[in-house]
Every structure is written in structure tokens, then in C-alpha cells.
Structure 1
Amino acid sequence: MRILVTGGAGFIGSHVVSALTEAGHEVRVLDALLPAVHRAAPEVPEHVDFHRGDVRDRDTVAAALRGVDAVSHQAAMVGLGLDLDDAPRYVGCNDLGTAVLLAEMARAGVRRLVLAGSMVVYGEGRYACGSHGRVVPGPRPAADLEAGRFEPRCPRCGAELTPGQVSEEAAPDPRNVYAATKLAQEHLASAWARTVDGTATSLRSPGRCSGRRVRRDPRRAGARFALLGLVMPRAATPYAAVAVLLAAAVPVTRRSDPDRPWSAALTMTGVLLLVLTPNYPWYALLLVALAALDGRVEWLAVAPAGYAVYLTWTLGLSEAQVRVVHESAYGAALLVVVVAAVFRQLHGCRIPRGRESGMVRAARGIRTGSGSG
């Protein structure tokens, strides 16, 4: 058979492609290779017909469907979304993309579809209370999450619940935008199958998959404000970050050296990057300026911390392991910076004039008006 795999360069899609080619099928891949997911060009197996394009584009989909016998629809925007601002993109990628694909399949006479469903359509799943039998738990209270209590409780008496197996007959209960779009995909596929007398099968896979081919969303690699999250509830970390920056700005600005006007700005940049614990390791390279211009070599400790986090993206580690590496790496870098700062305050350390870099001497000369000419 000739089978089109949408999203065939992704984690699950690439495994589907490998399995189909090993089984002797002719495979065609359609993938948009969105930069948020694919930081580098994927490795395409031999004898795979690769088409780069978006499933929301009708002409692209029509071209990819030519001569195809069946479709494995894996293309989707995954994750839970950072906030409701992501809702239009989820609906566009998942539901509009599926609608365009189904319309073109109907036009091309392709009648077999396998859809990448998700178990997130079931919501919390099945739970039972010892006193009240089967119950549907509500949202987890913020206080429980901050205290590390992640298991839901009985909505009637607050007792601990016993999880159970979810059957396919369980009522869907999508509880986030991603889950809602995955359920909408199933409804669209069902309507398409009835209309064209085709077959549509949805494979509701686990919500979390891990392995060496996973492409993690960089925004989720570790926790934002991870260092602050070690000592306070996560919900309070954004406000604490603002307070830390303001607290650092006052002494840094007041004690700025007129001979080195760039020092305050560079130091605040370093504090900002440490507080935010950046997910992109190249941010850490900005701190090289602190060492080059201001002689503060301790800031270079942030650079290897950033790359330690980057390496976790490629090793197939779990989210909990990534968080540990993230917080440990930046925690060690912060410790180095703080110890060095205290040492400088106690001993009144400054850059020895004889060791000033050429850039520092040039800047000093411009400020004082010295120089030839």
C-alpha cells in the first residue's frame, strides 16, 4: 500500500514511518517542520517520499494525496498550551488541518484513515471513593498543587480516591484546549467516514510519550523561575522575580562606577537571566560581556549551566529529570555568582588597572576625553 503519514517527521509519526517501511509499504510523509518542534532537519529514511508543507493548505494536501491508498494522520500541535492565547493555534493546526485533510481525501477518493487520538479526551479518568463509589473529581486546588499533592480527592467528602481503568465507553470530558481539539478531530473523522462510506480509526494514545526522538517545546524545558520555585510556591514566583529585580536594581544603580557606566546594565542583565533561568542556552552567552568588560569571570558559570539544560533535551529524559537538571545547574551557577559577589563586597575587589582589557581602556579614554587627534 501507499500510505501518507502526516506529521511523519515527529516523534510518533517517525516511528509509524519506520514501522510501515519495514513492513514493505510505500510511505509518503507530509510535515511542516515547524521551528518550534524541529530545531534541525529530520533524518528521512531511504525510499520515503518527503513533502514539506502544512495540512491547512489545500493544494499541498491534494498533491500529497495523489496515488495514496490510506492516511495516518499524526500532524498536530501537541501539549496543554501555556495559556488561552494558544487556543487559535491549537484549533487551527488540529481541527482546521484535519478538516482540510478530510475534504481533500473525499475529493481524491481515499477512504481509509487512522487518526492519532489521545487519552486526554477522557479528562481525569475513572476514580472511586470508598464512601461514595464512582465519582468525577473536579479541578485540583492550587493549594494542593503547591504542596505537592497531585492526586485528586473526592468532590463530596475530600477523601483519597482509587484510580481505575477507563473503558472506551467512558464519556469524554476534555479539560483543556488541546483535549478539546483532539475530541473535535474524532467527531470530524466520524462525520467524514459516514459521509463517504469510509473507515476511520482513532488510536487514543497516552498523553505523555518519551524517547530519543522527542522534540520538546523549548518553553517547557524545565520550569520558568525554577530557582525561586525551590523556596516558595510556584504561583508566587513571578511576583518574587519582579521583587528580586527591583531589589537588585537599587544598589547596583546607586553604586555604579562612573568610570565603567556599562557595569550596572551588565550586572542587571546577569541577574535577570539568573532569575528567569533561561530555557535557551545561547542567552547565557550574553553574560560573556560581564566577564570581558567588567572582569566578573564568575558570570561565566551560567554558560555551562545553560548547555547542561540543553543536553537534557536530547537525552530522552522525563520532565521530572529535566526539572532536576535545570534547577541544579542554575542553582550551582547562582551559588558561584553570589559567593563571588559577597567576596567582592567584603574585600572591596576591583579590576586591577594593569589587567583592564583594551575595550575597558578605550571606553575610559572616550569618557575622559583623552586620546590623540
Structure 2
Amino acid sequence: MSESLVPVVPSGTTHPPEADLPPQSAPPTSTGQRADQGPAAGPLSAQRVIPLRHPGRWITSAVALVLVAQIVHGLATNPFYQWDRFQYWFARPVITDGLWITLEVTAYSAVLGLLGGVVLALARLSRSPVLRAISWVYVWLFRSVPLIVVLLFLYNFSALYRTLSLGVPFGPAFWHFDESKLATDMVIAVIGLSLNEAAYAAEVVRAGILSVDQGQHEAAAALGLPKRYQFTRIVFPQALRAIVPSYVNQLIGLVKGTSLVFYVSLLDLFGSVQSMGSTYPGDIVPLLLVATVWYVILTSVISVVQFYVERYYSRGALRTLPPTPLQRLRAGLPNLIARVRRETAS
């Protein structure tokens, strides 16, 4: 009987010799290829990178451009808008005079309203219960009453008080004023808008002051500065970062709110358009377009000023200032051109 040969394993080992082990696969190379699979495909820098596709974004952009093109085409070709009459009325002296009155009323009311809002906000934040109560009642009252009601009440104020006087409270008066001579149409419009604007500006300013970190107040007090310097040098400049965006919204609303002064016999931009529309009924639509375009121009200018004011007061809060529109255009135009070339090439 033949005997099978069994390999002898040396003592102290638990595995057979390497010569009897099955062949193992070669380790992978540094490029991710196995040694028995041939050479590597090449370095990553030589491979072409395929950009991520966004078909939904391109489709949405195309649909939006088509809709905008249709709207612009409709505005340009519809004879109902009478663009020739629009061009005739756009810079007429009667329109520019009304525009100038709108700018005057807006400027005076914005300054007086902001100053009144600061005073009301400080009174609301003071420790005096009397000042807090008066400020709260004022804000509550003028935010509750419509602006047109305030203007009409002031316009008829002479019917309630024909003369105004200064003197000892509940005693003799030393100076008397004729209210009808002092309260011109411009004065009534500015006072009415300022009183209304101060109520809203007070809440905007109060919110901005409350947004300043409490540690800034404590640091200002630790320096031993008077309260006035603490507010003007430390607290208020930081609060402006929160005040400016909100108050600019109020300012834009004020520009459009000046259209109500037409009801107190002051011919601003909207009042001039209304007057010309009554005289030339066939030009009502182009006249309304003239007013619309001028209001859009005014609000656009205010928005541009807002951007640079916000950029100025964000210097201490941001590491890098936000780029201006011209800087964004310079930086984004080459990237857009390169991206379009890649899309078209692929």
C-alpha cells in the first residue's frame, strides 16, 4: 500500500512554508491601479473635470427672460400708454416744479421726523415714568391715526384756534400769533408728515439702540464718560447699523406719502399730475406714468445712498466690506464669460 507524503512543518510554526502558500494578488499602486491591471490612467491634473449641470436653473432663467421680454414688448408697443405724450410731459416745468416741492417736503419732514424720533426713543428708554408714558402715548396715537386725517386736521386747525399765544401757563399771554398767516400749505404739509414720521422713527431708533450689546454700555460707563458722550460717540454710531436699513424704508414711504399733501392744496409731483390730468383728460395715463417714473427714480437714488451709508457704518463689524456694484460687475463679468464658454464648449 502506498503512503501519502505529508509535508513536515518545523516546530514552533503554525502555518505551512511560504513556498506552499497560494499566490497573493499584488498590492495596489499609488494611482489606485492594481499591478496586474496594466498601467495607470494618468495623473489627476491631466484628467478633464466635467462641471455640474444645472438644467433647472437655465430653464427657469430662460422662462423669466421670456416673461420680461413680453412685458417690455407690451409696454413699448401698446398705443394705450401714449409714449409720445409721456415724453412731452416728463420734463415740463409744471412737473419739475411739483417734483421740487416733493423733494423739499421730503427733506424737511425726514430731518424733523428723525430728530423727533430720537427724542421720543430716548424718552421711551429713560427712567422717568412720565417721559415713558408721554412717548408711548404719542407713538400709539400717531401710528393709529391715518396720515390723511392728520393733514386734514392741521389744514382746518385755524377753525379751532384762530390765534396762538405764548405766556404764563394758565395765566396772561405776552405774544399772540395769527395761525392762518403762519400755517401756509408748505408748513402744514411738513408739520403733518413730521409728526407722523416721528412716531415710526421713534420705534426704529429705539430698536437700534436696544440692538447695541450691553457690554458697550458698560464699557462706556466704565470710561467715566458723560451720558451725552456715551450716546453720541459709542452707542448711537453702533446703533446706526440697525437704524439705517429700517429708516430708509420709512424714508421711501415718506417720499410716496408726500402725494397726500395734494389734499391740503399743495401741488407736489402727484398734485401737479392730478391737476394736469383734470385739464387734459386724454393724457391721464401718460401723466400717471410720468409720476410713476419719477417716484421710481427718487426711490432708486435713496436705495443707492442707503447702500453706501450701510457700507460706511459696517466698517467696524465686518472683516471685509461688501463690494460695490461696480466691483461686483468687474469681478463677475469675466467669470460669467468663462462659464458661458465652458457651457457652449461642452
TM-score class, shorter = under 0.3
* Structure with bigger RCO (C-alpha 8 Å, 6+ apart): 2
> Please, what TM-score do these two structures have when normalized by structure 1?
0.20
Higher strand share: 1
**Under a length normalisation based on structure 2, what TM-score does the superposition of the two structures give?**
0.21
**Structure whose alpha-carbon radius of gyration is higher:** 2
Flag the structure with higher helix content. 2
